[in-house]
Amino acid sequence: MREVVIISGKGGTGKTSLAASFAYLEEANALVSDCDVDAANMHLLLDADFSSKEDFFSGELAVIDEDICINCGRCDEVCRFDAIDVIDDQHRVNFISCEGCWYCSRVCPTEAIEMVKQKAGDLFVSNIKNGSKMVHAKLGFAAENSGKLVAKVKQEAKILVLKEDKAYVITDGSPGIGCPVISSLSGANLVLLVTEATVSGLHDLKRVHKLVKTFNYEAVCIINKYDLNEDVSQEIEKFLQEEDIKLVAKLPYDDTFTKALAVAQPIVEHNSDGQLSLLIKESWESIKTIIKENDR
Amino acid sequence: MKIIFTAKGENWDSPMDARFGRMEMLVIYDEESDKLEVVSNDGIEDMEHGAGLQTAKKVIELKPDVIITGNGAGQKALDLLKRTAVKMYIGAGDMTLKEAYDAYKHGQLKTQF
């Protein structure tokens, strides 16, 4: 089993569209894990059926037992998040403000405050239209993505891929450069950086690559919409050369991206003989070749 | 030499865990006594954030001379580990413990710092 993690730093570069296309091309050989749980939408492109569901718990919330509470106000004094309100002469926890830090629970003289684990979202395993499966998650409102949730998605994917003996895991990574991204990178055999020819595309590529380098992952790159700004595109290529990152492909701006999204299809399904689809197919073949060469 | 492996199992044939912060368990090999000892990293999956620092603390308290792992530690854990005398060897994520130890002995592993 080999895992390709696709990340971009910046949003809107085409990361998920490409990940879905690679998964579609590889059919039943590839398991998909969607670690972009903040804005999980790959399930739309791959027609996920949400066949199995599990609650995901993350963080805690203080809950005051009003029968035991003597309304002394110690909790209100110590709360750094201003999460204790007095309503009708009763101290109550504002569940939106509470960060679950335990301070109030520790100081409460009558032990009236219990810390309750919070459901942060759902974890799913779905059958998808390429004949394979995907592991994905949906966060609840105001729930925070975390390394913990991503690690859980990846762990489920790993168990499945070994059980079903698939050749690849294609992981749609988390955005940004924080804890969830670090978690989505873990165990990657190859990292694909998807960028676009804009100033922010290059800027975020540099940031996310710095992270990738810290962990010594091998990275390759696709420059999407390279013809938006060919000067920036050249700058990106220069950066890739300096950092010894292989350029897999330069994709032109093409509204097939948007048209395919509009009908919730991967590009290679929507317009399978189009120029863009051919370039995407070549890209996936190059990526597989790079992985095979590394194995030797 | 006291060596810590980031591991997914308890003996020489077990696979390494490529992750540092969220490693499943720490396996400690004392070359002098030729004994393996296992320290669990249970509970790390319950941490939303900061797994790297938490595990680094656990590792430092065990006072190893060498850590052998896969991808290496992240920035925060790295800052902490660099202040100690420990040496960190990476690139053993796809090996068994035995293979990782042999690779280390033959100088085939890179150092992270």
pLDDT top residue among A113 and A57 = A113
Residue A111 confidence class, pLDDT cut points 50, 70, 90: very high
CB A34 within 8 A of CB A122: no
Contact assessment for residue A108 and residue A77, using Cβ atoms and an 8 Å cutoff: no
% of chain B at pLDDT higher than 90: 85
Q: Mention every residue, 6+ apart, whose C-beta is less than 8 A from residue A70.
A: A109, A110, A112
pLDDT at A154: 92
Using an 8 Å Cβ cutoff, are A57 and B45 in contact?
no
Q: How distant is the Cα of A51 from the closest Cα of chain B, in angstroms?
A: 25
Domains and CATH numbers, chain B: 2-111 (3.30.420.130)
A216:B71 CB<8 A = yes
CA dihedral B61, B66, B69, B74 (to 10 degrees): 60
Q: Would the CB atoms of A148 and B49 count as touching at under 8 Å?
A: yes
pLDDT digits (tens, 9 = 90+) for A176-213: 888 889 989 988 999 999 999 999 999 999 999 999 99
C-alpha distance from A114 to closest chain B C-alpha (Å): 18
Q: Is A222 helix (H, G, I), strand (E, B) or coil?
A: strand
Looking at every residue in chain A, the average pLDDT score rounds to: 94
Weakest mean pLDDT among A55-59, A126-130, B92-96: A55-59
Q: Which residues of A touch B47 (CB under 8 A)?
A: 147-148
C-alpha–C-alpha distance, residues A105 and A137, integer Å: 31
Closest CA to A288 of A34, A29, A61: A29
CB-nearest to B47 from A144, A148, A214 is A148
Q: How far is CA A204 from CA A153, A211, A241, in A?
A: 25, 11, 17
Distance from CA of B70 to the nearest CA of A (A): 8
CB contact under 8 A, A217 and B71: yes
Residues of B in contact with A149 (CB under 8 A): 48
CATH numbers and ranges of domains, chain A: 2-47+128-295 (3.40.50.300), 59-119 (3.30.70.20)
Look at residue A120 and tell me whether its pLDDT is greater than 90: no
pLDDT of residue A187: 85
Task: Kindly determine whether residue A216 and residue B18, on different chains, have CB atoms separated by under 8 Å.
Answer: no
ipTM: 0.70
Of the pLDDT bands very low, low, confident and very high (cuts 50, 70, 90), residue A268 is very high
State the pLDDT at residue A140. 82
Q: Tell me: the pLDDT tens digits for A1-27?
A: 999 999 999 989 999 999 999 999 999
pLDDT at A145 over 80: no
Give tens-digit pLDDT for A208-240: 999 999 888 999 999 999 999 999 999 999 999
Per-residue pLDDT, averaged over B8-37, amounts to 95
Which residues make Cβ contacts (< 8 Å) with residue B20, sequence separation at least 6?
A: B6, B52, B55, B56, B69, B70, B71, B72, B73, B74, B77
Given a contact cutoff of 8 angstroms between Cβ atoms, the answer to whether B64 and B87 are in contact is no
Encode pLDDT of A249-264 as tens digits: 999 999 999 999 999 9
Predicted confidence at residue A228, as pLDDT, reads 96
Q: What is the mean pLDDT of residues A105-129?
A: 95
